[in-house]
Structure 1
């Protein structure tokens, strides 16, 4: 048998300040992408809807691939969700950003589904240990 301890048995370390700052930046990037997508999706329908959803998917998958961890895909997805949910509320004056149309619902639900898919299916680095059978 292998005498080395499992990587799962090691204690968790707090994230470094650089990694925490990176995830905060990704969270803000997701919020900006969500706000921009909310404006674009109704302005140039149906191309704007596809552009808005592709922007979110690109940000989430790009972050996961660049960092090499699925948590990097979750940070912009959370930022996107918070921004979009805040933009769905109406103001006391009666102003609102999302109309009650099919495109708005596809943007809201499609964006959440894309965020879950990107966070789940994001490619991550595999361990360098040759004994693991991951990816074989």
Structure 2
């Protein structure tokens, strides 16, 4: 009996054997991943509050998809790092109080689970990479 995750994502040895994309391709993906991380944060803030508790799971699944997708697209930890930067930037803005006293991401159990869960999904995604270098970027002589 085969594992359905292996059919979807491949085995660890298959993922590690994949070649890294070219430097030019990786550099093109990083800004796109930053914007995707920001969009997922913006959408996640509203979805987790609107459709609790299913919305919270949907928002965390969106985080996981963007972080893991960035890792797989680039093969580097920076591929998961750029989305978390966009995600955190948007969340910091949305957590700041407005002069009217309104919050987009107010204090509450769902909001805290979304924040901690989003960071946990990023941490799960950033641990494995195909490269043995600290940032996942091998030195290339172009």
TM range (shorter): 0.7 to 0.9
Task: Tell me which residue corresponds to 1:5.
Answer: none
In the alignment of these two chains, the number of paired residues is 111
Give CA-to-partner distance per residue, 1:5-50, whole Å, 9 cap, x none: xxxxxxxxxx956533320110011000000000100000000000
Give CA-to-partner distance per residue, 1:59-101, whole Å, 9 cap, x none: 1111211222221011111111111111101100111112321
Gaps of at least 5 residues in structure 1 are: 1-14, 127-136
- The alignment's TM-score, normalised by the length of structure 2, stands at 0.71
Distance 1:112 1:47 in 2: 19
- The alignment's TM-score, normalised by the length of structure 1, stands at 0.73
Task: Tell me which residue corresponds to 1:76.
Answer: 83
RMSD in angstroms over aligned alpha carbons? Answer: 1.9
Task: Tell me which residue corresponds to 2:42.
Answer: 35
Gaps of at least 5 residues in structure 2 are: 1-21, 133-142
Partner-residue secondary structure (3-state), 2:61: helix
Instruction: Return the index of the structure with the highest Cα Rg.
Output: 1
Alignment of 1:93 onto 2:115 = no
